[in-house]
Amino acid sequence: MDVRPREPEDLGACVRALAEVHHGDGYPVDWPERPHDWLSPPALLGSWVAERDGRVAGHVGLCRSGPGDSAPELWSRRTGLPVAGTAVVSRLFVAPGARGHGIGALLMARAVRGARESGLHPVLDVVASDTAAAALYERLGWSLLATVEQRWAPDRLVSVRCYAAPEDAPAGGA
Protein backbone atom coordinates (compact mmCIF):
# COMPACT_ATOMS: atom_id res chain seq x y z
CA MET A 1 0.00 0.00 0.00
CA ASP A 2 1.37 3.38 -0.99
CA VAL A 3 -0.05 6.83 -0.20
CA ARG A 4 1.58 9.54 -2.28
CA PRO A 5 0.84 13.02 -3.62
CA ARG A 6 -1.71 12.96 -6.43
CA GLU A 7 -0.22 13.67 -9.85
CA PRO A 8 -2.13 15.16 -12.81
CA GLU A 9 -2.01 11.80 -14.59
CA ASP A 10 -3.88 10.22 -11.63
CA LEU A 11 -7.04 12.23 -12.25
CA GLY A 12 -8.57 9.82 -14.77
CA ALA A 13 -8.20 6.88 -12.37
CA CYS A 14 -9.53 9.03 -9.52
CA VAL A 15 -12.63 9.96 -11.52
CA ARG A 16 -13.24 6.31 -12.42
CA ALA A 17 -12.97 5.28 -8.75
CA LEU A 18 -15.18 8.21 -7.73
CA ALA A 19 -17.81 7.11 -10.26
CA GLU A 20 -17.83 3.63 -8.68
CA VAL A 21 -18.24 5.17 -5.23
CA HIS A 22 -21.03 7.45 -6.44
CA HIS A 23 -22.85 4.57 -8.08
CA GLY A 24 -22.57 2.31 -5.02
CA ASP A 25 -22.70 4.73 -2.11
CA GLY A 26 -24.13 7.99 -3.43
CA TYR A 27 -20.95 9.99 -2.76
CA PRO A 28 -20.76 12.67 -3.79
CA VAL A 29 -24.46 13.29 -3.28
CA ASP A 30 -24.62 15.32 -6.50
CA TRP A 31 -22.39 14.05 -9.30
CA PRO A 32 -20.21 16.97 -10.40
CA GLU A 33 -20.57 18.28 -13.93
CA ARG A 34 -16.76 18.38 -14.19
CA PRO A 35 -15.39 15.69 -11.83
CA HIS A 36 -11.74 16.52 -12.62
CA ASP A 37 -12.36 20.09 -11.45
CA TRP A 38 -14.37 18.90 -8.42
CA LEU A 39 -11.33 16.93 -7.31
CA SER A 40 -9.16 20.05 -7.70
CA PRO A 41 -11.06 22.96 -6.14
CA PRO A 42 -9.35 26.38 -6.11
CA ALA A 43 -8.80 26.20 -2.33
CA LEU A 44 -6.88 22.89 -2.59
CA LEU A 45 -3.78 22.76 -0.39
CA GLY A 46 -2.84 19.20 -1.28
CA SER A 47 -4.22 15.89 -2.47
CA TRP A 48 -3.06 12.31 -2.14
CA VAL A 49 -3.92 8.95 -3.61
CA ALA A 50 -3.60 5.48 -2.19
CA GLU A 51 -2.38 2.78 -4.51
CA ARG A 52 -3.02 -0.90 -4.06
CA ASP A 53 -1.53 -3.40 -6.48
CA GLY A 54 -0.35 -0.49 -8.67
CA ARG A 55 -3.84 1.02 -9.06
CA VAL A 56 -5.44 4.11 -7.55
CA ALA A 57 -7.57 2.77 -4.70
CA GLY A 58 -8.50 5.97 -2.87
CA HIS A 59 -8.15 9.73 -2.70
CA VAL A 60 -8.20 12.57 -0.19
CA GLY A 61 -7.85 16.33 -0.50
CA LEU A 62 -7.03 19.11 1.93
CA CYS A 63 -8.47 22.59 1.36
CA ARG A 64 -8.56 26.02 2.91
CA SER A 65 -11.99 26.72 4.36
CA GLY A 66 -14.46 28.57 2.21
CA PRO A 67 -18.03 29.80 2.15
CA GLY A 68 -20.45 27.09 3.18
CA ASP A 69 -17.93 25.13 5.25
CA SER A 70 -19.52 24.75 8.66
CA ALA A 71 -16.82 22.78 10.49
CA PRO A 72 -14.19 25.57 10.46
CA GLU A 73 -16.67 28.06 11.98
CA LEU A 74 -17.76 25.61 14.66
CA TRP A 75 -14.15 24.74 15.51
CA SER A 76 -13.28 28.45 15.67
CA ARG A 77 -16.16 29.16 18.05
CA ARG A 78 -15.19 26.22 20.24
CA THR A 79 -11.47 27.06 20.42
CA GLY A 80 -11.48 30.84 20.09
CA LEU A 81 -8.93 30.50 17.28
CA PRO A 82 -9.42 31.94 13.79
CA VAL A 83 -11.09 29.97 11.00
CA ALA A 84 -7.91 30.57 8.98
CA GLY A 85 -6.21 28.13 11.35
CA THR A 86 -8.11 25.20 9.86
CA ALA A 87 -7.77 22.95 6.85
CA VAL A 88 -10.77 21.02 5.54
CA VAL A 89 -10.31 17.35 4.74
CA SER A 90 -12.34 16.71 1.59
CA ARG A 91 -12.91 14.47 -1.40
CA LEU A 92 -12.15 11.33 0.61
CA PHE A 93 -13.17 8.09 -1.06
CA VAL A 94 -11.98 4.51 -1.38
CA ALA A 95 -12.87 2.40 -4.41
CA PRO A 96 -15.37 -0.32 -3.47
CA GLY A 97 -13.04 -3.13 -4.54
CA ALA A 98 -10.22 -1.80 -2.33
CA ARG A 99 -12.13 -1.49 0.93
CA GLY A 100 -11.32 -3.39 4.10
CA HIS A 101 -7.58 -2.74 3.97
CA GLY A 102 -7.36 0.44 6.09
CA ILE A 103 -7.01 2.74 3.07
CA GLY A 104 -9.47 5.33 4.42
CA ALA A 105 -7.52 5.55 7.70
CA LEU A 106 -4.21 5.87 5.82
CA LEU A 107 -5.58 8.67 3.66
CA MET A 108 -7.01 10.45 6.70
CA ALA A 109 -3.65 10.18 8.46
CA ARG A 110 -1.90 11.69 5.43
CA ALA A 111 -4.37 14.57 5.27
CA VAL A 112 -3.91 15.21 9.01
CA ARG A 113 -0.15 15.22 8.54
CA GLY A 114 -0.50 17.67 5.63
CA ALA A 115 -2.59 20.00 7.77
CA ARG A 116 -0.19 19.78 10.71
CA GLU A 117 2.81 20.44 8.46
CA SER A 118 1.04 23.65 7.38
CA GLY A 119 0.31 24.63 10.98
CA LEU A 120 -3.42 24.05 10.49
CA HIS A 121 -6.03 22.07 12.41
CA PRO A 122 -7.94 19.52 10.31
CA VAL A 123 -11.74 19.62 10.27
CA LEU A 124 -14.38 18.19 7.95
CA ASP A 125 -18.08 17.83 7.36
CA VAL A 126 -19.97 14.84 6.06
CA VAL A 127 -23.55 14.32 4.99
CA ALA A 128 -25.31 13.04 8.11
CA SER A 129 -26.71 10.03 6.25
CA ASP A 130 -23.17 8.78 5.47
CA THR A 131 -22.91 6.67 8.60
CA ALA A 132 -19.93 4.64 7.32
CA ALA A 133 -17.80 7.78 6.95
CA ALA A 134 -18.93 9.11 10.34
CA ALA A 135 -17.99 5.77 11.92
CA LEU A 136 -14.50 6.00 10.40
CA TYR A 137 -13.95 9.53 11.72
CA GLU A 138 -15.17 8.59 15.18
CA ARG A 139 -13.04 5.43 15.21
CA LEU A 140 -10.04 7.65 14.39
CA GLY A 141 -10.82 9.86 17.40
CA TRP A 142 -12.34 12.84 15.62
CA SER A 143 -14.80 14.88 17.70
CA LEU A 144 -18.29 15.67 16.54
CA LEU A 145 -18.65 19.45 16.74
CA ALA A 146 -22.33 19.56 15.75
CA THR A 147 -24.88 18.45 13.22
CA VAL A 148 -26.07 21.43 11.19
CA GLU A 149 -28.22 22.19 8.18
CA GLN A 150 -26.43 23.53 5.12
CA ARG A 151 -28.23 25.23 2.26
CA TRP A 152 -27.09 23.53 -0.96
CA ALA A 153 -29.70 25.24 -3.13
CA PRO A 154 -32.47 27.78 -2.59
CA ASP A 155 -34.94 24.98 -1.84
CA ARG A 156 -32.56 22.34 -0.46
CA LEU A 157 -31.25 21.93 3.08
CA VAL A 158 -28.85 19.08 3.84
CA SER A 159 -27.96 17.83 7.30
CA VAL A 160 -24.20 17.50 7.82
CA ARG A 161 -22.09 16.29 10.72
CA CYS A 162 -19.06 18.50 11.45
CA TYR A 163 -15.90 16.99 12.93
CA ALA A 164 -12.50 18.15 14.20
CA ALA A 165 -9.38 16.07 14.55
CA PRO A 166 -8.18 15.53 18.09
CA GLU A 167 -5.64 18.10 19.24
CA ASP A 168 -3.03 15.40 19.61
CA ALA A 169 -3.92 13.43 16.47
CA PRO A 170 -0.80 11.65 15.32
CA ALA A 171 0.29 12.37 11.80
CA GLY A 172 0.92 8.66 11.18
CA GLY A 173 0.10 7.16 7.83
CA ALA A 174 2.24 7.25 4.75
Query: Using one digit for the tens of pLDDT, what is the confidence trace for 42-96?
Result: 999 999 999 999 999 999 999 999 877 899 999 999 999 999 999 999 999 999 9
Find the mean pLDDT for residues 33-49: 97
- Round to whole Å and give the CA distance between 60 and 17: 12
pLDDT at residue number 173 = 41
Question: Is the pTM here over 0.85, yes or no?
Answer: yes
Q: Are 91 and 47 in contact (CB under 8 A)?
A: yes
How large is the average pLDDT for residues 23-38? 95
Is the CB of residue 58 less than 8 Å from the CB of residue 104? yes
Please report the pLDDT score of residue 117 as a whole number.
Answer: 96
pLDDT above 90 for 161? yes
Contact 59, 7 (CB under 8 A): no
**For residues 103-118, average pLDDT:** 97
**Cα 140-126-32 angle, rounded to 5 deg:** 130
Mean pLDDT of the chain: 93
The DSSP symbol for 90 reads E
Task: Tell me if 58 sits within 8 A of 107, measured CB to CB.
Answer: yes
pLDDT over 80 (residue 170): no
Q: Is 171's pLDDT higher than 50? A: no
